[in-house]
Amino acid sequence: MRHLINDDGTPFESSELQTLHSELDALDNNGRSEYRNQNASVIAKHSAGKFLIVSGPGTGKSTLFKGRISFWLEQDSTSKILCLTFVRKLVADLDSDIQGDENLTQAQKDQVEVHTLHKFARSIVEQNHGTTEWRFQPHFRIIGQSWKDVVWGDVLAFHAGLDPGLYSWKKFEEQLHNADFDEAIEWQNLKETYFKLCRFFNAAGFADLILRAKDALAENTNLNESDCFIIDEYQDFNAAEDALINQLVNNPRGLLVVGDDEQVLYEKLKSGKPNLIRNLYRNNDYANGMLPFCGRSSFHITRSAGHFIQQNRDTECIEKIYLPIKTDDDKPKVQVIACATAPTAVDYIEKFVADNKTAIGERKAKLAEGKEKDAFLLILTPAKEVNFYGESKKKITNIAAEYQAENRYFSEDYYKILSYYSLANNPQNNFTFRKVLHYENIAMAKVHELIKLAMQKNQNSCDLEVVEVKNATQKTNDIKTILEAGDQTIGQKIESLAGHISLSDKKRLKEDIERKAINQEEVTEIEHQEEEEAELEEIEVKKMGAIELMTIVGSKGLSADHVIIIGFDNVNMSRVTKNAFYVAMTRARKSLHILTALKSGGARQAHDFLEQLPDEHAEYFSYKKSNHTKSQLQGKQGFKDYLNSLNSMSQRRS
């Protein structure tokens, strides 16, 4: 069997892929591992300057990256290599693997940089102080998720006649993502105002950060010090990000682009364009390669996911081979569970946690010690807020919270106080001043008046001789004095702070300040952490505890021993794409549980994805809270019949 490489850049022919699929699937365990390793090794050492790799979930991207990096360094010891991805965990894992590679010298390790795309873009814009047209002062700030609407409200205030419903931030952000701006005079004026306001605030949003980085690279080619590049998750790039990458990798010594158009997740979140990777697949300038074997998920999970994604495939989709690395294993089939209510589903999760309490505790300890990277259990939900579980929402949230390694995120109260303190130390920071005006509940009309006046006078907000500015400045100084008082306990300081600003959770705030004091020494680090959290929030990603409750989209790039998907019904899963569900399934290594809970958010039946699961690799159960037992049902039809019987009983009772 030949390796899955087309040197001339032509797409793999469907008939050949089908033949190879059959031949690879006929291999025994040793044959599969040997082929996987040889195929990856040949790709890693291939002479092609530009290479596109189609890589399904769990098929060994990280190993390939390390092999390609070693190859490039062997070919030219002076190479500088840049790896870019959306996934923070991959950055941490790959960087850790590179630093721990005994085959590389420290000098070689220092020639490899691994970043998220947003962090790289921020670095480029910072070094260039913005662009020639839109300059920034040093140390510009990021407009995080929670401040986007506030800033856009400031923009709209300059155009009072426009309907906010028609001229929304969401619509403008989509134009930023697409690097394609509406030619209507209203949108052109809004765009101009937004960029002027960003310059006044010395701040940028994540979407326009990408555009600014592309322009900065065009203006100053010295900003790009790399000659070899690895671009990951290319299927989720939008037009603006693609333009940035094209500017970055112009005439590279080595370029490896990796993705899978069946794992597209960010079409709605940030206008990801799967056609970009499909076009690259047909571009003869790139050699084409493929990784066929999933080594992450168990036999039944891989088979189920592979079967699922093959149903009703998009005709434009890149055809690929996706097979389990083993011919069978002792792991369970996919578990599809029918529950009468949301509390029943939560009880199922509680029982699973109780049955695995020792293993979960061990994972929590190892995560804290840095000896493990993955969660034991991911609980994946179609919606960020699990409101469809009603009163059971808090219980399911507490299940995950109990096993967090630490309380990693600071409270809103903490960041509020940080803003006041930061402004006291740097009153010229107009973006922080804007935050304080927001916290002070100054009327929008007055805030607009102050911003407009400062911009007209070319002054900082703090220099305005108006009562609102004087009062805010005085309060920031008072708060700074309280925080720096050496003769008060944290509790006493919080009581004093409460006399100046409203606090929603004093207990949580006390824990936050005990963990990280707000002082001049720490303030820069804390603000940097705030922006890192904003980046995670931008694509709904978070760091790992032993048990995590997160959205399906937020699970991108993660894996866990066990995965429980909730909300698998005709109501709550209605907006989840087929690709997103495929990604959710393939996060699981050992077991996958899919829960349908009737009455949650009005659910009356399972989602239609049920029909696309293979019976030979899935088992169907009912679960009863009263005796904590699950009973096997007669396949898919038995599952549907059970749900119908529950609905009938519910109707008779009502």
pLDDT digits (tens, 9 = 90+) for 111-136: 999 999 999 999 999 999 999 999 99
The CA distance from 141 to 534, in Å, is 11
Pairing of strands 5-6, 287-291: antiparallel
Cα angle 282, 581, 276 (rounded to 5 degrees) comes to 20
Predicted confidence band of residue 265 (pLDDT cuts 50, 70, 90): confident
Please report, in range form, the residues annotated as the binding site for ATP: 55-62
Closest by Cα among 376, 353, 355 to 365: 376
Check pLDDT > 60 for residue 407: no
Q: Cα dihedral sign for 643, 644, 649, 653?
A: positive
Is the Cβ–Cβ distance between 298 and 331 less than 8 Å? yes
| Helix (H) or strand (E) segment spanning residue 631 | strand 629-632
pLDDT bracket for residue 532 (50, 70, 90): low
Instruction: pLDDT band for 371, please (50, 70, 90 cuts).
Output: confident
Answer yes or no: is pLDDT of 469 > 50.
yes
CA 471 to chain centroid? 40
Confirm if 418 and 526 have CB atoms less than 8 A apart: yes
Q: Are 344 and 622 in contact (CB under 8 A)?
A: no
- Report the pLDDT value the prediction gives residue 119, as an integer from 0 to 100: 92
Q: Please state the rounded mean pLDDT for residues 396-413.
A: 80
| Closest residue by Cα to residue 16 from 32, 35, 2 | 2
Q: Where are the domains of the chain?
A: 334-407+542-652, 412-535
Distance from C-alpha of 237 to C-alpha of 200, rounded to nearest angstrom: 29
Give the CA count within 13 Å in the CB-facing half-sphere of 135.
Answer: 3
The CATH code belonging to domain 334-407+542-652 is: 3.40.50.300
